[in-house]
Amino acid sequence: MYQFSFQPYQRTFKQPLQTSHGTWKIREGIILSLTDNFGKTSWGEIAPISWFGSETFTQALNYCRQLPTEITTETIYSIPDLLPACQFGFESAIGANKNQNYNSLTYSGLLPAGKAALQQWGKLWAQDYRTFKWKIGVYPIAEELEIFAEFTHSLPALAKLRLDANGGLTYDEAKLWLYLCDRTKIIEFIEQPLGVEQLEQILELSKLYKTAIALDESVATFNQLQACYQEGWRGIFVIKPSIIGFPSRLREFCQKYNIDAVFSSAFETEIGRKAALNLAVELANPNRAVGFGIDNFLSPDTARI
């Protein structure tokens, strides 16, 4: 039996996050606490991203509001699949957020969309980032290709660049990007070039070009992850633990199929971040940086509880 309480929070992005889905200015989430029969309290975080495929913040809040103040493990494991961020928040709270050693992890630094990226990568490089992620499919393709050309000339040979289209390219645009990526040596992969409903075309593109492709929106929740694997995806999987559902189910899946997994932030507070990084230490491909270099977008503050 646990005493359950929760507290919604809001955090404003230092610079709005622009993706092909639109502009994101405020992160809303919920910090929950569970106190067991011995009086020990542990915390979890619900950090939904509804435009990415999880429940909305309001759905998560309504779920918390209708729960009694005393809940059991059974309550937690009966959270429906429609509430994946809640599944994650509650199960990671009972898994007690251990402080693991994150020294084995390297981080990918997130750059803003458009030209601003050219001004910001140097600052991240100085902080020892060697992998960068740049959002594409936000501005007209001609403009982004020009910026990309500048990138390929200015980034040091040691750097790796990930391009994230957030499903915003047409098939022809994706082919053009992949063609150009094949001609440089700095691209680690291109993320979610086409929409979630276009898995077949993404599979096709993955056979036509050398540049690796990663699925992200397509595998936002556990059911989607399973479905894509079953439909034959063996490329890279970007996993946002905070919205994927129960950590135990993810762990079991990753261990069984040994997928090439890149773990990525959902812009959580320290509580969700720790829970997500604990899984990354255990399950991520150790040769790939984790997508948690987001200090340019949110201050690394601790949530008030």
List of residues contacting Mg ion (CB under 5 A): 164, 191, 216
**Least Å from the CB of residue 164 to Mg ion:** 4
State which residue, 173 or 191, has the beta carbon closest to Mg ion.
Answer: 191
**Least Å from the CB of residue 227 to Mg ion:** 18
Distance CA 254, CA 286 (A): 13
Please list the alpha-helical segments (H only) found in the chain: 57-66, 73-77, 84-94, 116-126, 141-154, 171-182, 199-208, 222-230, 241-244, 247-257, 270-283
**Least Å from the CB of residue 110 to Mg ion:** 10
State which residue, 97 or 218, has the beta carbon closest to Mg ion.
Answer: 218
**Least Å from the CB of residue 187 to Mg ion:** 15
State which residue, 53 or 272, has the beta carbon closest to Mg ion.
Answer: 53
**Least Å from the CB of residue 9 to Mg ion:** 23
- Nearest alpha carbon to residue 242 among 261, 265, 217: 265
Examine the residue annotation and report whether 160 is marked as an active-site residue of this protein. Answer: no
Distance CA 285, CA 195 (A): 24
Do 131 and 157 touch, CB atoms closer than 8 A?
no
Distance CA 170, CA 287 (A): 30
State which residue, 34 or 196, has the beta carbon closest to Mg ion.
Answer: 196
- Nearest alpha carbon to residue 133 among 165, 163, 177: 163
Q: Which two tokens stand for residue 202?
A: 């993404």
State which residue, 164 or 188, has the beta carbon closest to Mg ion.
Answer: 164
**Least Å from the CB of residue 29 to Mg ion:** 19
- Nearest alpha carbon to residue 99 among 235, 292, 242, 281: 281
Residue 223 amino acid letter: N
Examine the residue annotation and report whether 240 is marked as an active-site residue of this protein. Answer: yes
Catalytic, out of 135, 160, 175, 210: 135
- Angle between helix 171-182 and helix 141-154 axes, rounded to 10 deg: 10
| Positive or negative torsion for Cα 234, 239, 245, 250 | positive
Catalytic, out of 133, 160, 240, 274: 240
State which residue, 239 or 277, has the beta carbon closest to Mg ion.
Answer: 239
The residues carrying an active-site annotation are 135, 240
